[in-house]
Structure 1
C-alpha cells in the first residue's frame, strides 16, 4: 500500500450496510469471528459488526502478499533487521520464547537473573522490603503499570508504585505511601539517560538518605539496555537487570522492565504472561490470514482509516482490571505507526495510525458515547470484556456490565429511526468485540501480543517502520536547550512564556 489506496476507498465506500450484510449471510457471525485457546481459556474475536466482506478480506490478503507480510514475519521472529532506520532487529517476541534461538536463550538467561534478584528480595537479603517505587517513563512505565493494575491488585507480596511524571507531585504521592526503611527503588530506562527518570531517581535517593537509609544506592535496581551507564550512575552490577538493545521501549514489558509485576505477582505469574503471549505469537506466525486475529484486526483498521478516512479509533475495556489498556495502546499504536515516511524514505501520502483513545465501561457510556451514537464522526469502536468478573460481589454487577457492553455494540450497528432528529440514531457504526474467559496473566499476555502484531501488520501493509520514534526527539532536544545554561533563543511566544514562568 505504498502507493495510493483508491481500491480500498472504492471498496470501503460502496459496501452494503452492516444489517444488510447480516441479512445476506446467515453465517456472517461465524465467518468473521475467531476463537483461539490461550492456555486452555478461549479468546473470542468478533469482527462481524464491521463493513468487511469476504472480497475485502481477499483484497487485503493480496495486499499482504504484495507487501511481503509472511517474509516480514519471518524476519521479525528470526531476529533479522526489521527496523532499517536504526539498523536493528526487534526481539521482543524472543523475550517470551518465540523466534530466534540465540535471542530466546539470551532472554531466558537475563530473565533468570531477574528471578534470582526477586528471590534474594523475598529471602530478606535487602532487609524487610515492603514497597517498590518503580521510576520510568513511556514504555518503561506504561507496561508495568498496566500489568500491576490488572493482575497484582489482590497480591500481598509487595506494595508497588509506578512513577513516570517529572511533576514532583507524582513522586511525592508515592513517597508518602511508603516507609523508606522498607522501600526499594527500580529505575527503568533503556538508555539510562532519560532526563525525567534520572531526576526522579535522584529525588527518591535523597528521600531515602534524608530518612536514615545509610546506603540509598544499595536499595536501587536498574532496568536497562545500557548496564554500563547504570553502573556509572551508582547501581551495583548485581542489581542491574539488563535487557537486549533490540527490545524497544514500548515493547519491553516482557523483559526486565516487567520487574515490578514479577516482584508483585511472583515469577510464576510472569511466566504465565509470557506463555500467553507465545501462544499469540504462534497463532500470528502460523494461522491462515483469513483466520488470523492480528491480521483481521489490521484489515479493520485500514478499512476505516484509509478506506473511509476515520481519524480516530476508540477502545473501551468493560473490565476495571483493564482500565489502563487504552493508555497503553495509545503509545503502542501512535508511537509505532504515527509516521510520515515510507520505509524507502519517501513521503507517506495516506493516513497511517488513527488517533487511539478510549476509556473504561460503563463510565464512558455516560461521558463520550453520545458522540459515538449521534455525532458526525464515524469512529470504529473496540469493546473488550471478560466472561469472568474480577471480584466476588453479587453476580448481577457483572451481568449488568456485560449486557451494557454487548448492547452498546448492537445499538451502534442497528441505530433507531425517529422523525424527531434529536432522537434519531443513524446506526451502521462499526465495532469489534474481544471477549476473553478471564483476565489472567496468560490471557493478558496474549492480548498485548495481539496488539503488537496488529501494529506490525498495519505497518507492513502501509510500508512504514513501526519500530523507530524520531518524532519524540525534537521536543526533548529543545527542552534540554531551554534548561541548559547559555543563550539559546526561541520564538517570541516561547520566550515570553519562559519569562512569565520564571525560567529566564
Structure 2
C-alpha cells in the first residue's frame, strides 16, 4: 500500500468515542453490529467502532486482495509464493471430491483413498480387530508429532471429549523433553500399543527422537523388526525415510505439500480426532469447516465472520497500536483453543516482509494468549480491566452443553457476559465512591479506596456464541479463525503460509548439540559458550 495502515487508521482511532457514549447514542447498537453463520453468533458491538470507522474498514477490505487471493487459493494457484506451493487445506473438507485435479494428479481420489484408509484403521481399532505382536488387542495409541501435527488434533480431541467413543486410549508425545516419552511408556505395554509418527519430512528432530525412543522401548521389550513394522504407522510425504525407520509402506498415510502443518488437522493428521470420536463424527467436523468455507468465499464482507474479525484485529493493531489479543473460551473443553490459535495466527502472520520480500511498514499479528473462563478471571483479568493496556478479547461460549448441571452453565454464561460488560463500561471514580459510601464507609475511607476500584472501561471485546460444542460447530469455529488469519495476511500483503522464522533456531541447535555431546568443538558468543560450559558442569 502507498499509505501505511497505521497512517490511515490512527487518525480515525484517535477520534473514536468511548464505548459508553456509543451505546448511549445507539440503543440498537447490538443488532447493528452482530451477525451469524454456521451456528456461530458474533456480537461485535462492544468494539471501538462508529459508523465512519466501520465503513473505512469495510472499504479497506474491498480494496484488499482478499477476494483475489481466495479465488487463486480455490483454483490451486501457488499462493504460498516462497515455497511455490498450492494452499488447498480447504479441499480436504469439501463434500464433492470429484474432478479435483492438481498438476495432472487426481487429488480427489487421493484424499478419498486416505480417508478410507484412516477409517478402516479406526474401525479395526474400535472393533479390537487390530492384534498386537503377542496376540493381544491394541489398547493404546501414541501419537508422535509437534507443532501443527500435535496442536490441532490435541485441541480438537479435548474439545470433543463428550463425543469420545473409542476403546483405545490416546497419548500425545510432542516435546523433545525425555520426560514426555518416559511418562507415557511407564503406563503402557508395547504388546498392546500402536505408535503413529506424524512428520511430513520424517526429519523433524523432536518427532524423530521421540519415535526413536519409542522404537527402543519396543526393542527393550523383545520386539523384533517385524513387530516394529506391525506396531508403527506414519503420516508423512517421505515414504523412503519412514521405510528406513522400519515402517512398512501400507502403514504410511499420505501428507501433501499443499497442506501446511497448522492447517492439517483435516488430513491424516486428524486421525487421533477420528479415533476418539469415530469416523461419522469426524465427517461432521469436516462438514462444519466446509460450511464456513462456503460462507467465507461467498458472503458479503459486511456479514462475513472471518472478514469482520480480521478487520477488527487490524483496527486494533494498526489503528490503536495494540500488541496482544486475548482468546477466552468459556468452556472447559475449549481450554486448548488459545494455544492452537497462537500457532495459527502468530506463525502465519508474524512476518517482517511482504510477499515481494520488501520490509513491512505496519505491525502484524498480535500476541495471542488466554485460558478457559472462569479461571482467567482469577488471574490475568485484573490486567484486562485496570491496566493502561488495551487488549482486545474474543469471548467464546457454547449455548448447549453435554452435562446436566444447568445452573452452573447459567452461572458460567453470566460470568462471560458480565466480563464483556465490565470491560466495556468500566467503573468511574464517582461510581466507586458511591459504592463505598453505600457499604457504610466513612467519607475519608471511601475517598481513599475509591481510586483503587476504578476500572477505565472502554476495553473492546467480541462475543461468539456457538449453538453447541459439537464436531460440526468446532469445525466451523476452527475454519473461521483460519480464514480470519488469511484475510489479515491478504490486507498486510504477506505470505501467511510459510514460516521461515522458525528455521534459524533449528539450524543453530545442531552445532550446540554437537558441543554439548562432545562430538565437536564450536565457536559461540560468550553467553552461549558460558551456558554450554555451565550445562556440562551440572551437579
Interval containing the TM-score (normalised by the shorter chain):
over 0.9
2 CA distance for matches of 1:177 and 1:147?
Answer: 24
Select between 423-432 and 152-161 the one with higher mean Cα deviation: 152-161
* Corresponding residue pairs, total: 499
Question: Which position in structure 2 is the counterpart of 1:500?
Answer: 534
- Residue aligning to 1:337: 349
Select which of 405, 421, 424 maps to 1:410. 421
Q: How does 1:320-469 map to 2 (within 5 A)?
A: 320-392=332-404, 394-419=405-430, 420-469=450-499
Structure 2 residue aligned with 1:149: 158
- Give the superposition deviation at 1:117: 2.5
- Structure-1-length-normalised TM-score: 0.95
Give the alignment partner of residue 521 of structure 2, picking from 457, 463, 487: 487
State the partner residue of 1:67: 64
- SS of the residue corresponding to residue 155 of structure 1 reads coil
Distance 2:316 2:130 in 1: 55
Structure 1, 99-108 or 156-165: larger mean CA deviation: 99-108
Match of 1:161 among 171, 177, 184: 171
Distance 1:221-1:503 versus aligned 2 partners, 3 A rule? farther
Give per-residue Cα distances to partners, 1:103-157, cap 9 Å, x unaligned.
Answer: 4443223222222222343451334111111010111100111111111454343
Q: State which of 134, 137, 146 in structure 1 corresponds to 2:146.
A: 137
User: Would the aligned equivalents of 2:33 and 2:43 in 1 still touch at CA under 8 Å?
Assistant: yes
Closer, same or farther in 2 for the Cα pair 1:373/1:242, shift >3 Å?
same
Question: RMSD of aligned C-alpha atoms?
Answer: 1.8
Structure 1 residue 24: Cα displacement: 2.4
Residues 201, 237 of structure 2: 8 Å contact kept: yes
Q: Aligned partners of 2:42, 2:167: CA distance in 1, in Å? A: 34
**Structure 2: tracts of 5 or more residues without a match:** 102-106, 431-449
> What TM-score results when the alignment is normalised by the length of structure 2?
0.89
How far is 1:85 from its partner?
Answer: 0.8
Give the direction of change, closer, same or farther, for the CA distance of 1:457–1:94 in structure 2 (3 Å limit): same
Q: Show the counterpart of 2:13.
A: 12
2-side partners of 1:3 and 1:473: how far apart? Answer: 32
Following the alignment from structure 1 to structure 2, what is the Cα–Cα distance between the partners of residues 385 and 293? Answer: 16
8 Å Cα contact 1:321/1:390 also seen in 2: no
- Any unmatched runs of 5+ in structure 1? none
| Corresponding residue for residue 130 of structure 2 | 125
Larger Rg: 2
From 114, 117, 121, the equivalent of 2:118 is 114
User: Cα gap change, 1:139/1:2 in structure 2, threshold over 3 Å: closer, same or farther?
Assistant: farther
Provide the C-alpha distance between the structure 2 equivalents of 1:470 and 1:211, rounded to a whole number of angstroms: 40
Match of 2:246 in 1: 234
Identify the range of structure 1 (15-24 vs 238-247) with the bigger mean alpha-carbon deviation: 15-24
CA deviation after TM superposition for structure 1 residue 2, in Å: 6.5
- 8 Å contact from structure 1 (residues 289, 295) kept in 2: yes
Q: Equivalent residue for 2:25?
A: 24
CA, structure 1 residues 279+219, in 2 after alignment: closer, same or farther (shift >3 Å)?
Answer: same
CA contact (8 A) 1:141 1:164 kept: yes
Q: Following TM superposition, by how much is the alpha carbon of 1:499 offset from its aligned partner in structure 2, in angstroms?
A: 1.2
Q: Does 2:201 match 1:188?
A: no
Q: Confirm or deny: 8 A CA contact 1:157 1:265 kept in the other structure.
A: no
